[in-house]
Chains A and B, each alone.
Chain A
Amino acid sequence: MKKWSKSDLDKIRASREPDRDWIKVGMSTCGIAAGAEAVFEYLRDEVARRGLPIEVKKCGCLGMCYAEPLVEVRAAGLPQVIYGQVNRELARLIVENHLVEKKLVSDHIYSFNREE
C-alpha cells in the first residue's frame, strides 16, 4: 500500500466528507453488551432492503452508558438526534418514522448538555 506523505494527509483533510445522511450505532464494549450488534445488523439490512439513501456506520462510545445501545441519526431536514436504549422494535420505528416519514420518535431521544 502507498505510504503517505505530509501532503497526502493534507489532501485527505481537504477532501470534503461526502455530504450524506448516516446512522451511527455505538459499538464499544458497553454498547455491544447492551445489544448493539443486533440493532446494527437490523438497521443495515432494513436500510438496504428499502433502498434508503443513508449509510449505517459503527462508532465508539458516546459516554452515555446508561442509555446504551445508542443510535445517532442524521437525516436531511431533521435535527441530528441520539436515540437511547434502542432495541429491534425501536430500530423499526426509527426507520419508519424518522427516515421514511421524517418525524422524530417520541420518548426515546437522549439529549446531553455539552459545549459544542
Chain B
Amino acid sequence: MDKKYILVKDTRRAGSNQTEHFAGLLAAKIQASPAAEAVQVVRAADIGFYDQGLVLKFLPGGPVYLNVSEADLDRVVRETVVGGRVLEDLAAAGTARQLRVVLRNCGVINPENLEEYIRRDGYRALSRALFEYTPDKVIEEFKKSGLRGRGGAGYPTWLKWHLTRSVPGAEKYVICNADEGDPGAYMDRSILEGDPHSVLEGMIIAGYAIGANHGYFYIRAEYPLAIERIGKAIEQARERGLLGTGILGSDFNFEVDIRLGAGAFVCGEETALIASIEGKRGTPRPRPPYPSVSGLWGKPTSINNVETFANVPVVMTRGGDWFAGIGTEKSKGTKVFAVTGKVKNSGLVEVPMGVTLRQIVFDIGGGVRSGKKIKAVQTGGPSGGVIPEDRLDTPVDYENLQKLGSIMGSGGMIVMDEDDCMVDIAKFYLGFCVEESCGKCAPCRIGTYQLLKILERISEGEGRSEDLDRLRLIAQAMQKASLCGLGQTASNPVLSTLNYFETEYREHIQAKRCRSFKCRDLLTYSIIQSKCKRCRQCFLNCPVQAISGDREVGFYIQLDKCIKCGKCFEVCKFNAIARE
C-alpha cells in the first residue's frame, strides 16, 4: 500500500492558530489505528482554503475536508484514513478555484528550454495553422472562441485581425504590446518571464492570420529579465526555423524584433507606441485612421497584448468552441489578475471570467491581511475605478466592470481596507496621470493637473463646498475631449470614488476629518495623560523633537513642531496617544 499524506491547517481568521494542536491530535489517533505506518501528518503553511476552520487535505489525490471539528477526527481516521471512504458532509465544495490557461506553463517549464515548451504542446498550434488552416480559417476559429483583447479595452481579437487582413497591401505588421505600466500590475512580465515561447507562438500565428511578415515586441526597459528571456526565445526559434523564411517547411516567412520602451505610461496607448517604435516622440495621434488601416510606418498593423497572444496557441490547439465554453456570455476564457494591496496572498491569480471579485479576494486571495473590513477593490489602474464592498458579488467581465464605473484593464487588482482613504487613493492616481500625461492635448494636460490640485486642497482641509461639482465637471470634460485613452479615462478614479464614497469627500470638506487617518493635515496627535506611563518611547522616537517634558512632569506634543508622521502613535504600547 502506498503511503498517504494528510496536510493539516487551521484556517480560522480569528483566534490563535491551532494547527499544531490538531495535527498532533490527528497523528496520535492515526498512530493508534491500523494505518499507523502508512500515513504521515504534515502541517501546511498554506492549504489553499481560508476561513474554513480546520482543513485536511489528503495527498495524493484528495479529498479535501473543510470545517473539521475535533469530534470529527475519530470518524475521519476510521472512515477515510483506514477505510478509504470519502465523508461527503466534510468534503470541499463551492469555493472558487483557479483555472490555468494563460499561465499553463508558468512555473512548470524552464522558460529557456525550447524542447520543454514543445513537449507541453508548444508550437503545435503554429503547425496546425500553417498546414491545416488558411489565414481566414484561423480568424474564423478566433471568432468562434470569443477571445477579446486582454490589454484592457476588450476589443474582439478576431475582428482586429480581420480588419488588418482586409486592408490591401503587402507590408503589414504585428506588434506585441508589453508596455505594462499600471501601478501594481505585472501579469505580462510574469508571462514573458515564465513562458516566452507561448507569446512568441501567438504572435507568429497572428502574423500568418493577417498576412504580416514582421513583428515587434514593445517591452518596457524596466523588465530586464523579461527582455532577456524573450530575446533567448526568439534566438532559439530562429535557430530551429520557427522564425525566418519557410517556417517549419511551409512557405510562410516571419521575423521578430524587440523594441524597448523608456518607461512612459502613454506608450502603452497604441498610436503612441507606434510613434515610439518609429523613433519619434511617444505621443498619441487622433484615430481614425486606426492602426489596422494605417499603423507602423503607415502600414496596416495589429497590436495585441501579451496575455492575448499567450491565449492564441490554446485557442488553436483546443479549438474556439472549447475556449468559448469558459467564461460568461460576452467575456470568454480566463483572466489573469495581479492581486495586491491589503490582501493576504498577493500574487497572480487566473480565474475563468464570471468569478466574482469577492471569490477572488476571499476564496483565492485569503481575504484582507490585517483582518480589517474590506472597503473596496480597485481594478484597471489609473484608467479604472474603485468597486465598493457591497458590489463585490458582481461577476467579473468586461461589461460588468464598466457598468460599475471601473474597467477590466490589464488585470491589476488592488484590495483596500478601512485604512485606505478614498480621497487619498484618487489623489494617488491623479498624481500618476499628471506625471504621465504627455501634454499634447489640453484636456488631459490641464484637466489632470486641476483635478489633482482640488484633491490636494480637499485632503489638506482647504476643500470648498463647490469642489465636488467642479471635480465632476472637469472629469466629464476630460472624458469627452481628451485625445487618447489616457486622458479619457484618467478621471475614472475620481469619478468612481466620488460616486461611491461621496460621504468621505464631504467629511474632508465640512468636518475636516479623514476617517482613515491618511490625510495628515487633518490629524492632530495628543498625549492622554491619564494613560501615559511616561516610558519616553514617543519622546525618543519623535523625528523632529516635537515632544517635550520629562518623567516628572509628563510629556506633551508641541503642535507647532509636530509633522504628524504618526511615529508616536505607532510606538506607544499603552494607547496613550490620541489621534483625531
A57 to B45, CA, bound (A): 23
How far, in Å, is B567 (CB) from chain A's closest CB? Answer: 27
Q: Complex: how many Å from CA A28 to CA B194?
A: 7
The residue of chain A having its C-beta at the shortest distance from the C-beta of B345 within the complex is A66
* Shortest CB distance A12–B (Å): 5
- Closest chain-A Cβ to B58's Cβ sits at a distance in Å of 9
Q: A28 CA to B119 CA in the complex, in Å?
A: 21
The interface residues of chain A, by DSSP majority, are classed as loop
- Residues of B105-127 whose CB lies within 8 A of A: 105-112, 115-116, 118-119, 121, 123-124, 127
User: Which of A9, A26, A28 contacts B127 (CB under 8 A)?
Assistant: A9
* B108 to A, closest residue via Cβ: A59
Interface string of A5-42 (1 = CB under 8 A from B): 11001101101010000001010111010000000000
Q: Please give, as numbers and ranges, the residues of chain A lying within 8 Å of B98 by CB-CB distance.
A: 112-115
> Which chain A residues border B103 with CB–CB below 8 Å?
63
Known contacts A6-B127, A103-B40, A109-B7; A61 and B344 CB within 8 A of each other: no
B499 at the A interface (CB under 8 A)? no
> With the chains together, A95 CA to B344 CA distance in Å?
29
With A13-B118, A32-B225, A61-B106 already in contact, the answer to whether A4 and B97 are too (CB < 8 A) is no
Are B7's CB and A58's CB within 8 A? no
Q: Is B280 positioned at the interface, with any CB of A under 8 Å from its CB?
A: no
In which size bucket is the chain A interface? 35 or more
Do B240 and A1 touch across chains, with their CB atoms under 8 A apart?
Answer: yes
Interface centre among B45, B47, B97 (most CB of A within 10 A): B45
Per-position binary interface string of chain B over residues 79-113, scored 1 when its CB falls under 8 Å from any chain A CB and 0 otherwise? 00000000000000001011110010111111110
Total A-B pairs, Cβ < 8 A: 159
How extensive is the interface on chain B, given as a class? 35 or more
Check A65 against B40 for contact (C-beta < 8 Å). Answer: no
B148 at the interface (CB under 8 A from A): no
B46 touches A59 (CB 8 A): no
Whole-angstrom distance between the Cβ of A10 and the nearest chain B Cβ: 8
Name the 4 nearest CB pairs between A and B, nearest first.
A60-B194, A3-B241, A62-B107, A63-B348
Residues of B within 8 A of A (CB): 2-3, 5, 7, 23, 40, 42-49, 57, 59-60, 95, 97-100, 103, 105-112, 115-116, 118-119, 121, 123-124, 127, 130-131, 186, 189-190, 193-195, 223, 225-226, 239-242, 244, 248-249, 344-350, 363-364
Contact surface of A with B, Cβ cutoff 8 Å? 1-6, 9-10, 12-13, 15, 17, 24, 26, 28-30, 32, 57-67, 70, 72, 77-81, 84-85, 103-115
Pick 15 A–B contacts, CB within 8 A, sort by A: A3-B244, A12-B119, A26-B107, A28-B194, A58-B112, A60-B108, A60-B109, A63-B347, A65-B346, A84-B46, A103-B40, A106-B43, A113-B49, A114-B100, A115-B97
